[in-house]
Amino acid sequence: MQPARLPSIVILISGRGSNMEAIVRACAAEQWPARVAAVISNRPDAPGLRFAQQQGIATAVVDHRLATSREAFEAELAACIDAFEPSAVALAGFMRVLTPGFVRHYAGRLINIHPSLLPAFPGLGTHRRALDSGVKWHGATVHLVTPDVDHGPIVAQAPVPVHDDDTEAMLTARVLEEEHRIYPAAVRALVERRLQVQGLRVRVLAASPVQAGEVVR
């Protein structure tokens, strides 16, 4: 009898993928009842691909610059993702705005991390905007992806104080540290089906004792 296959996670990156690294390391260190099956990038030069390959994880490139349209790019990307039959698709610095059709295809499985305390500062340049606005608290948000960019149901947040002498680099580093803490935990909760979603509210259920390698159904 063949052993049951672990639920799979596919991670999408565009660059270094430090949050991808955090998920991969947590999955191995904590012996999740799941596996990172693939890392896919829209850029062939993304440094994160090499890290994934060194961990023995399958990698693929779907270069958006070679596609004839956004729809053609997303169709190829979806085919690549679906080959791994993922229980979760995690965006880790994937710098593409996804169409509503693509998002609906992965409804309930698509998760993202954003470097602000949403709904504050959606979009790009969050750390500079936080400093310029004079807020006293900044941070990171993990959310389920919906067609409205950076507005999905919030799974987890981590506040970070803004200091009077902060530079953009200093604030970025402190927020990134929190991203690496909360994102793996949120992805694991998604794979283990511990997220109860009601509208925009998400309840994260406590983990039940699971033996390493046991498949969550």
2-28 pLDDT tens trace = 456 899 999 999 999 999 999 999 999
Q: What is the average pLDDT score of the chain?
A: 94
Identify the weakest region by mean pLDDT among 2-6, 91-95, 170-174, 197-201: 2-6
Q: Is the pTM of this model over 0.85?
A: yes
Single-letter amino acid, residue 64: H
Eight-class DSSP state of 120: S
pLDDT at 165: 97
Eight-class DSSP state of 178: H
Quote the domain boundaries for residue 161: 8-204
Q: Could you read off the pLDDT of 82-131 as tens digits, one per residue? A: 999 999 999 999 999 999 999 999 999 999 999 999 999 999 999 999 99
214 located within any domain: no
55 located within any domain: yes
Mean pLDDT of the region 136-147: 97
91 located within any domain: yes
210 located within any domain: no
The torsion angles phi and psi of 129, rounded to 5 degrees, stand at: -65, -40
pLDDT band at 189 (very low <50, low <70, confident <90, very high): very high
If one counts every other C-beta atom within 10 angstroms of the C-beta of residue 216, the result is: 15
140 located within any domain: yes
pLDDT band at 209 (very low <50, low <70, confident <90, very high): low
pLDDT at 75: 97
pLDDT at 5: 80
What end-to-end distance do the CA atoms of the chain give, in Å? 18
> Alpha-carbon distance 80 to 62, whole Å?
8
| Sign of CA pseudo-dihedral 19, 20, 23, 24 | negative
Domain of 113, CATH number, reads 3.40.50.170
Q: Is 138 a catalytic residue?
A: no
- 64, 114, 138, 143: the catalytic one is 114
pLDDT band at 1 (very low <50, low <70, confident <90, very high): very low
pLDDT at 4: 61
Single-letter amino acid, residue 211: Q
82 located within any domain: yes
Task: Extract the tokens encoding 197.
Answer: 């979603």
Task: Extract the tokens encoding 42.
Answer: 């829209």
pLDDT at 212: 41
pLDDT at 207: 84
Is there a contact between 163 and 136 (Cβ–Cβ < 8 Å)?
no
137 located within any domain: yes
**217 pLDDT higher than 80:** no
pLDDT band at 64 (very low <50, low <70, confident <90, very high): very high
- Alpha-helical (H) ranges within 36-167 are 48-54, 70-82, 100-105, 126-133
2 located within any domain: no
Number of domains in the chain: 1
